[in-house]
């Protein structure tokens, strides 16, 4: 004979599982990129008189093509080459010509500044971008507070292709050289 130790029935177990499923589903929907579960109350809307709820605002559903693409962080590959401004360093255009001939390489210009040096850092980043010429067209430019103050440029295989994919992911499961059998 099967003993029932504690009075637990199948209905209680089913109710517990249902609650768990509900919480997991609600959490997934709240964190989804299209987030259908927005806030119930719009704090920026004008408040109506007491006792009168505001009229619901209904927006027409958007087609998938009309929705803006979700923001994603830009891919960052391992650096292929690093340039730092300083004595003895080649000019940035020469370095780019020597190191970054591959169009799949993306240039990242980073300028760090000390307290109070933000305007000068922005001017330096603009100058370096102008010096880079055509290579700066798809460049990532980062200006941030930090020590030591200075500028650097990095190239890596993370340039965006026409389909929005990073160039380093373009070949899928290997490089063109490995796939061609050469």
Domain assignment present for 141: yes
The answer to which of 20-24, 85-89, 143-147, 157-161 has the lowest mean pLDDT is 157-161
Mean pLDDT of the 26-48 span: 61
The answer to which of 63-72, 84-93, 137-146, 167-176 has the lowest mean pLDDT is 167-176
Domain assignment present for 26: no
Domain assignment present for 17: no
Distance CA 154, CA 137 (A): 15
- Model confidence at 59, pLDDT cuts 50, 70, 90, reads low
How much is the pLDDT for 139?
A: 86
How many structural domains is the chain composed of?
1
Tokens 């001017």, located at residue: 123
Domain assignment present for 35: no
| pLDDT higher at 175 or 45 | 45
Question: At residue 158, does pLDDT exceed 70?
Answer: yes
- Model confidence at 60, pLDDT cuts 50, 70, 90, reads low
E strand or H helix at 79, and its extent?
Answer: strand 79-84
Domain hosting 106: range is: 79-180
Pairing of strands 106-113, 140-145: parallel
Domain assignment present for 54: no
Mean pLDDT of the 102-124 span: 90
Domain assignment present for 38: no
Distance CA 167, CA 173 (A): 13
The pTM for the full model equals 0.50
Domain assignment present for 88: yes
């Amino acid at each position: 004979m099967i003993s029932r130790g504690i009075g637990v029935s199948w209905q209680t177990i089913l109710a517990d599982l249902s609650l768990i499923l509900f919480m997991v589903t609600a959490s997934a929907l709240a964190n989804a990129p299209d987030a259908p579960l927005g806030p119930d109350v719009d704090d920026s809307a004008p408040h109506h008189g007491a006792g009168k709820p505001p009229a619901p605002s209904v927006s027409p559903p958007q087609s998938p093509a009309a929705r803006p693409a979700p923001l994603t962080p830009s891919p960052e590959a391992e650096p292929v080459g690093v340039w730092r401004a300083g004595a003895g360093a080649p000019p940035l255009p020469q370095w780019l010509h020597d190191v970054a001939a591959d169009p799949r390489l993306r240039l990242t210009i980073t300028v760090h500044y000390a307290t109070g040096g933000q305007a000068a850092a922005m001017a330096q980043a603009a100058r370096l971008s102008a010096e880079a010429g055509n290579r700066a067209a798809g460049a990532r430019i980062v200006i941030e507070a930090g020590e030591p103050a200075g500028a650097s440029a990095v190239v890596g295989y993370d340039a965006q292709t026409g389909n929005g994919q990073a160039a380093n992911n373009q070949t899928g499961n290997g490089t063109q050289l490995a796939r061609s059998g050469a």
